[in-house]
Amino acid sequence: MGKSTKLTPMMEQYEKVKAQYPDAFLFYRLGDFYEMFNDDAVKGAQILELTLTARNKNSSNPIPMCGIPYKAVESYINTLVDKGYKVAICEQMEDPRVAKGMVKRAVTQLLTPGTRTETGAENAKNNNYLTALEYDKDNQKYGFSYADLSTGELQVSVLGQIDTVINEIMNLQTKEIIVKDVPDKDIKIFKKLGILLSHQPDISIGNEMQHLTDNLINPLEKETVNRLISYIIKTQKRSLSHMKPASSYRPAEFLKIDHNSQYNLELTKNIRTNKKSGSLLWLLDETKTAMGGRKLKKWLDRPLIVKHKIVERQNSVQELLDHYYERNEISDILIKVYDLERLAGKVSFGSVNGRDLIQLQSSLEQVPKLRYEIASIDAKTFKNIYDNLDPVDDVSDLINSAINEEPPISVTDGGLIKDGYNLTLDKYRDAMNNGKKWIAELESKEREATGINNLKIGYNHVFGYYIEVSKANLNKLPEDRYERKQTLTNAERFSTPELKEKEKLIIEAQEKSKTLEYEIFSEVRDTVKQSINRLQKLAETVSTLDVLQSFAVVSENYRLVKPTLSDKHDLEIVDGRHPVVEKVMGHQSYVPNDVKMDPDTNVLLITGPNMSGKSTYMRQLALAVIMTQIGCFVAAKSAQMPVFDQIFTRIGAADDLISGESTFMVEMKESNEAIQNATNNSLILFDEIGRGTATYDGMALAQSIIEYVHNNTHAKTLFSTHYHELTELENTLKNLTNVHVGAVEKNGELVFLHKVKKGAADKSYGIHVAKLAGLPNNLLTRANDILQHLENSQNDNNVMNIEQEPVSKEKQVNEDNDAQLSLFSDKSNKENSNNSIKDNSIINDIKKMDLMSKTPMEIMNAVYKWKQKIEK
């Protein structure tokens, strides 16, 4: 090779293609391998655990390279895309055997996190959304559009604030955002979220895609969708006939739940495991189809706020409950329905194979059966579903007549098309079958003529058909009977003019047969393609039916009841339950609770010990509202409630990883979000607001928030607190009621009753909870001493009167310091004080300690450490 660094023609071609896709791994096809070179090879080998080698090893500038067999490429692509990378597939565009000069190559597809269509069985019930964001500087608004390439779904909206954009992105779990120009501060947020940003500076769509935006009026919406479509066209380089016209939506048209509330309420994922198991979605998902599972999640993400639409779903669920046998039949039929949405997408992309078409035909065969069962229920609530259950008979009949029932995976190797469908194909097959029959007869005849019983006629791709005779039997062959073709170690291979003639006929029939079969298959596929809109409409209908039957199954299995929607501002849930907790714990162990708020009660102030069930009580109300407004029944003996427009929650303590803000700042932001945006039709759940700052600050904020919500917002509000002083507010706020979660002491042990009762709790039992957690007895004894000191020094005036003159900061600090220092000033220790008490570090720790921002466990740990220092 010498020391030359000049690029070969192949590497020149590679570099030109790579320059067009600088932000992607380029998989460059060379024979049976996809190769990566240079930085792609170095990085790719590390990520994919491949062997890194080099091209031109002897040159002064060897080129790093690594390869992947083309048959195994899919798993490697998936690994890279899952990690947030792009992969450009560069294929050979002509047969190397007939190419003149350098083989032509071109990128046939760019695979990205947002454009993946092959999701695998484990993700069949999940959408993969690609999002586009357009920023309108003049009006400070965002055009927001998203699409799922595998199903053809296309949605668009105009959003006012970046917080709303983030909320939509988090709910959609989008992995890739298409942008042109957005503020730098927004880009930083997206990067913190781990979302891939792809730039699409130009908008270029052909006439065939114009219809996707014809129904859009807003220019910003049109521009956003067009940029998204432009990116899809650029990356996919294939038909997009399955894309549905863009549908404009407004988040305000649905029950608003921000992503933090969805997370805290565990609607789709368990907080601890980040998996579906243990979430509300897990409980509700009895869907039988992949498209039904996706629709259930969409309904859960966007509950309804229009009463008659909710009632319509509820009535359908009730009809399915009342018709047990028909519902069971519907469930059994749905099991046999494949993913019509994604099958339609495959037809459009041209990636559908014979087995996919058989799945489509099998699914369409179930539609008349579904129509029969719906007709048997004979309820007007199912009229729309019945009318839209189109069996698409012409497609079903075509596939049934053309495609073999057990076709091969490959669409180019033959064996796809049924006998009798095409006359010419039948002739080729007859020629092949007769030819093979003739060869079998020739083999028998030659054995008889030569007396060689193990003589055989075989075939391979290099030499074609041959007569093989073992060397031990060569002396039995008549001279000049055969023409020698190939010599092996233990045998000789021969041919005859007659065999060559038959070989030509058979091979010609095989090749023409395969070519013709693929042409016929393509025609069938293109005919099916003309019915994509009908198939998508059918998929929409079947998925709706699937979710409704799922609600009916869940309602029956978990004793759910149909809630009543009230036009008044009242809420009454009798024996309400948290359905997910109940499923995990078991029905017998769960303690149900009422939630009763008449039109004149807006705030329930909840007190009680830690671990007693306050948060569960609040969550179960939120889940009851959400389940009601998606059309499902609820976990209760009976339920009546208004239609809510928004749910705001502040449950749990966590820093905001996106903005880097502290727990207390997040707490205040979320509180402000509720206070500023809640209406009298909203639901607010506040869990221990104010605990993230100093005691008096926290209590003051908690009281003022309660008063503001009570006097101004009038939303239905559940507010749990450890500030027992706040229970006095019931005497001054007419629309506030105290409730508490009961607990009793038996023989010094704390027993949680998990029952919500009227009135305020008498104490918090924090040290009892610490005892349940297994803390050392000497530590707990010391904690009791500290608690007595605190209680003795506590101001008798429990509820702060904001009319009073505020205490100066200097005076407050001095009082706090005196109270804290007095914890270690009992007489028994004064005479034998050791160096620990004099140690400024301990005193400083105590001064800095903010009791109300700490959990009982954290306080106990701190006290234990101080005690160890003091005793040394």
Tell me which of 709, 734, 764 is where a domain ends: 764
Is residue 755 domain-shared with residue 607, that is, in the same domain?
yes
Q: Comparing C-alpha atoms, which of 346, 355, 446 is closest to residue 399?
A: 355
What is the arithmetic mean of pLDDT over 607-614?
76
How high is the pLDDT of residue 871? 65
Q: Are 850 and 693 in contact (CB under 8 A)?
A: yes
How high is the pLDDT of residue 851? 57
Q: Please report how the helices 324-334 and 307-322 are oriented relative to each other, as an axis angle in degrees rounded to 10.
A: 100
How high is the pLDDT of residue 831? 43
Q: Which residue has the higher pLDDT, 223 or 3?
A: 223
- Annotated ligand binding at 764? The verdict is no
DSSP-assigned letters across all residues of 627-640: HHHTT--BSSSEEE
Local structure of 372: helix, strand or coil = helix
User: What CATH number is given to the structural domain containing 196?
Assistant: 3.30.420.110
Q: Are 562 and 633 in contact (CB under 8 A)?
A: yes
User: What CATH number is given to the structural domain containing 725?
Assistant: 3.40.50.300
Is residue 498 domain-shared with residue 541, that is, in the same domain?
no
Helix, strand, coil content of the chain in percent (nearest 5): 50, 20, 35
Q: What is the tens place of the pLDDT at every residue in 379-412? A: 899 999 999 999 999 999 999 999 999 999 888 8
User: What CATH number is given to the structural domain containing 16?
Assistant: 3.40.1170.10
Domain-embedded: residue 503: yes
Domain-embedded: residue 411: no
User: What CATH number is given to the structural domain containing 515?
Assistant: 1.10.1420.10
What is the arithmetic mean of pLDDT over 466-476?
90
CA 21-8-39 angle, 5° bins: 40
Phi, psi of 273 (to 5 degrees): -105, -15
Average pLDDT for the chain: 85
Query: Is the pLDDT score of 48 beyond 70?
Result: yes
- Annotated ligand binding at 533? The verdict is no
Is residue 438 domain-shared with residue 494, that is, in the same domain?
yes
- Annotated ligand binding at 849? The verdict is no
Give the residue carrying structure tokens 């690594």: 66
Q: Which residue has the higher pLDDT, 306 or 671?
A: 306
Tell me which of 69, 84, 111 is where a domain ends: 111
- Annotated ligand binding at 641? The verdict is no
Q: Indicate the pairing of strand 736-746 with strand 593-597.
A: unpaired
Q: 545-569 burial by CB neighbour count: b if 16+ within 10 A, else e?
A: bbbbbbbbbbbbebebbbbebeeeb
**The two three-digit tokens of residue 705, written as one number:** 């928030």
Is residue 97 domain-shared with residue 131, that is, in the same domain?
no
472 burial via Cβ count (<10 Å: 0-12, 13-18, 19+): exposed
What is the domain range of residue 832?
784-871
Find the radius of gyration of the CA atoms of the chain: 37
How high is the pLDDT of residue 336? 97
- Annotated ligand binding at 613? The verdict is yes
Domain-embedded: residue 265: no
Is residue 127 domain-shared with residue 225, that is, in the same domain?
yes
Q: Are 547 and 296 in contact (CB under 8 A)?
A: yes
The alpha carbon of 108 is separated from its chain's Cα centroid by a whole number of angstroms, namely 28
Give dist(CA 818, CA 825) in Å, integer: 10
Is residue 617 domain-shared with residue 737, that is, in the same domain?
yes
Give dist(CA 492, CA 455) in Å, integer: 10
Strands (E) across 646-779 are located at: 646-650, 683-687, 716-720, 736-746, 749-758
Domain-embedded: residue 467: yes
- Annotated ligand binding at 608? The verdict is yes
Is residue 587 domain-shared with residue 727, that is, in the same domain?
yes
Cβ neighbours for 107, distance < 8 A, ≥ 6 positions apart: 17, 20, 21, 26, 88, 89, 90, 91, 237
Q: What is the tens place of the pLDDT at every residue in 801-843? A: 433 344 444 444 444 444 333 333 444 444 444 454 445 666 7
Q: What is the tens place of the pLDDT at every residue in 353-383? A: 999 999 999 999 999 999 999 999 988 999 9
CA 101-104-109 angle, 5° bins: 165
Give dist(CA 619, CA 737) in Å, integer: 19
What is the arithmetic mean of pLDDT over 449-456?
90
Give dist(CA 49, CA 150) in Å, integer: 29
- Number of domains forming the structure of the chain: 6
- Annotated ligand binding at 774? The verdict is no
Domain-embedded: residue 399: no
Is residue 717 domain-shared with residue 586, that is, in the same domain?
yes
Is residue 194 domain-shared with residue 299, that is, in the same domain?
no
pTM score > 0.75 for this model? yes
Is residue 541 domain-shared with residue 569, that is, in the same domain?
no
Is residue 622 domain-shared with residue 639, that is, in the same domain?
yes
Domain-embedded: residue 279: no
Which band of pLDDT confidence, cut at 50, 70 and 90, is reported for residue 662? low
Domain-embedded: residue 32: yes
Tell me which of 90, 111, 132 is where a domain ends: 111
Q: Comparing C-alpha atoms, which of 157, 190, 159 is closest to residue 176?
A: 190
- Annotated ligand binding at 614? The verdict is yes
Query: Is the pLDDT score of 872 beyond 50?
Result: yes
Element (H, E) at 428: helix 423-450
Domain-embedded: residue 433: yes
Is residue 791 domain-shared with residue 861, that is, in the same domain?
yes
